[in-house]
Amino acid sequence: MMMRLLRVDFLKIKRKGLWLLTVLGPFGVVALQMVNYGVRKDYLLQQSENDWLYYIEYISNFTHLAIVLGIVILTSFIASIENETNAWKQLIALPVSKLSVYLSKFTVITILLFISSVLLLLFSYSYGLYLDLGEEIPYITLLKYSFFPFLAALPVLALQLWIATVSHNQAIPVTVGVIGVILAYSAFTLPDWMIWKWPSLINGWDKPYINALLGLSVGILLYVIGMFDFKRRDVK
Amino acid sequence: MEYIVETKNLTKRFGKEQAVSGLEMKIPKGEIYGFLGPNGAGKTTTIRMLLGLMRPTSGSVHIFQKDLRKERIRILNKVGSLVENPSYYPHLTAGENLEALRKIIGVPKTRIKEVLKIVRLEDVANKKVKGFSMGMKQRLGIAASLLNNPELLILDEPTNGLDPSGIIEIRQLIQRLPHDYGMTVIISSHLLSEIDQMATTVGVVSKGKMIFQDSIEEMRKFAKQKVVLKVSDSESAWRALLARGMRADWDEKNITLLNQSDENVATAVKYLVKDGFSIYRVEEEKKSLEDVFLQMTKEERLV
């Protein structure tokens, strides 16, 4: 049943621009560095001993913003597909469990974000190679900074999807989303417990994997809460 | 008797508002059940509860003699539905819209063509639903409800937004279903004329309560007939009838005989002729089902 629902959800996002967004997000993040390095490459290369790490850090400055913004847009889009003509009532009246309907929506966005992360890895790696930043390529760091923000952003994803699917007024999830993006923008000054800070991989211990682990566990928790709330509610 | 749908004491409250209260719905197999009531009477809420979209505040729903709360998915496998306005995905074509449902239901792909043919949309299968007229969307909704070859078909206001020829088409289609496919159909409407032409059993709901539930013939019996007599000098004629011991009413213009046998009407006419009045017209006025319905729902309102 899950596979069927997933296939249906992928059919429904056709022509809605979600795939475009999936590619545009990571491309945008790397494109900013293309501008940055294009304009002042020589200056930037002088700034540090390890040009690769310096470059990755620049990229990660924007990754978390793109990912939080992307989540807000993706969740709102996927909910609006069902909200537009209140197709929830048609969908839930089919022989499917509400839990799997919710899980399917969540999975679709997770897959899109994962693809985004893979693309981010590919884009930043190739542009790094093009910049010729040195022989020693820090593959592990590159992997970390491509996939940890995705894991650390799962709580935001779970929260946004929850709000977007249970609100009849899509202004609510968008408002919460915009506040989230602003919070993510000021990640550096936020306390460590705020979920919008996590995708930036900044924390008091200076260990990015903590954010990824926290993201994964709190993300699952928020997902479960959202799923059961979705199940409990009447379909209007 | 075996009922396809049976609700017991079905109740739904929204805050303080009682949308449906103590509803006992009984629908035998193979019937076209007209679910009738004014707007806001609780029809759609009831239908939502039948489909498991809403949880009843209290009471139970049994469909195919199974408890909806326990076997929702197994029941819904054999139920097709169209609730209120049709739902669709405007950015997808008609075919893709049905495909999105077909994949979940798991019927063969050829079924899409079949249902599109039934509602005569086969020519626009590859057009986006965005550009469809209201009637076409409604038909697509009906096509979607037929996709899984349901044993129970629930249609909430199915002729909404259809033009007269579309209404006739859909009506003929619905009338065929019990016979051709052994389906049981529930159609809700606030228009009695609509139900009158299709339904075999009627349930009338008002203010969340079932106020009448029986065959349409039973309901017709409520439609009383009266005979109107147009005569010369109607007042004296009326008095003459009363003097002869007949029950009659007078409304300044005509004499009316309510619920009288053919014999009595003949006698009244005979008396009038004997007494020298000229009789211009003897007309029967049948109270329409519409009046019965209005009266039923009005009475309920007074309570």
Q: CA B270, CA B244: separation in Å to the nearest integer?
A: 11
The strand pairing partners of B286, in sequence order, are B225
Which pLDDT belongs to residue A165? 92
Q: Which helix (H) or strand (E) holds A58?
A: helix A51-83
What is the tens place of the pLDDT at every residue in A105-152?
999 999 999 999 999 999 999 999 898 888 888 899 999 999 999 999
User: With an 8 Å Cβ cutoff, are B89 and A94 in contact?
Assistant: no
The count of other CB atoms within 10 Å of the CB of residue B273 is 12
Q: Which chain B residues have any C-beta within 8 angstroms of a chain A C-beta?
A: 48, 51-55, 73-74, 76-77, 79, 81, 83-92, 96, 99-101, 103-106, 144
Q: CA B278, CA B265: separation in Å to the nearest integer?
A: 16
Q: Does domain B224-286 have CATH number 3.30.70.260?
A: yes
CA A41 to chain centre: 29
DSSP annotation of A234: P
CB B248 within 8 A of CB B241: yes
Q: Who contacts B266 (Cβ-Cβ below 8 Å, separation ≥6)?
A: none
Residues in chain A: 236
Amino acid of residue A2? M
The strand pairing partners of B257, in sequence order, are B227
Which pLDDT belongs to residue B303? 45
DSSP annotation of A55: H
- 3-state DSSP percent of chain B in helix, strand and coil, to 5: 40, 30, 30
For strand B201-206 and strand B32-36, is the pairing parallel, antiparallel, or unpaired? Answer: parallel
Q: CA A28, CA A17: separation in Å to the nearest integer?
A: 16
Which pLDDT belongs to residue B202? 92
CB A222 within 8 A of CB A155: yes
Residues of chain B in contact with residue A88, where contact means CB-CB under 8 angstroms, are: 87
Q: CA B98, CA B105: separation in Å to the nearest integer?
A: 10
Nearest CA distance, A235 vs chain B (angstrom): 5
Amino acid of residue B78? K
Residues of chain B in contact with residue A4, where contact means CB-CB under 8 angstroms, are: 103-104, 106
User: With an 8 Å Cβ cutoff, are B88 and A87 in contact?
Assistant: yes
Q: CA B173, CA B160: separation in Å to the nearest integer?
A: 15
Q: CA B160, CA B146: separation in Å to the nearest integer?
A: 17
Q: What is the pTM of this model?
A: 0.85
Spans of chain B below 50 pLDDT: 303
Lowest mean pLDDT among A17-21, A183-187, A207-211, B219-223: B219-223
Residue with tokens 């040009």: A51
Which pLDDT belongs to residue B301? 53
Put simply, whether A3 touches B (Cβ < 8 Å) is no
- The token pair at A215 is 């993201």
Nearest CA distance, A155 vs chain B (angstrom): 28
Query: Which residue of B83, B104, B144 is in closest CB contact with A8?
Result: B104
What is the tens place of the pLDDT at every residue in A146-176?
999 999 999 999 999 999 999 888 899 999 9
Q: CA A4, CA A96: separation in Å to the nearest integer?
A: 10
In chain A, the percentage of residues whose pLDDT exceeds 90 is 62
Largest Cα–Cα distance in chain A?
Answer: 63
The count of other CB atoms within 10 Å of the CB of residue A179 is 12
Count Cα atoms within 13 angstroms, Cβ side, for A179. 9
Q: CA B19, CA B9: separation in Å to the nearest integer?
A: 13
Chain A residues 5-44 within an 8 A CB cutoff of chain B: 5, 7-8, 11-12, 14-16
Q: How many helices (H) and strands (E) does chain B have?
A: 11, 15
The DSSP secondary structure of B191-244, one letter per residue, reads -HHHHHTT-SEEEEEETTEEEEEEEHHHHHHTS-EEEEEEESSHHHHHHHHHHT
Which pLDDT belongs to residue B299? 67
Q: Where are the domains of chain B?
A: 3-221, 224-286
Q: CA A16, CA B92: separation in Å to the nearest integer?
A: 10
Q: CA B222, CA B208: separation in Å to the nearest integer?
A: 22
Size of interface A-B (CB pairs under 8 A): 81
Which pLDDT belongs to residue A159? 95
* Mean pLDDT in residue range A90-100: 93
Which pLDDT belongs to residue A121? 94
CB A168 within 8 A of CB A83: yes
The count of other CB atoms within 10 Å of the CB of residue A100 is 17
CATH architecture group of domain B3-221: 3-Layer(aba) Sandwich (3.40)
Which pLDDT belongs to residue A136? 85
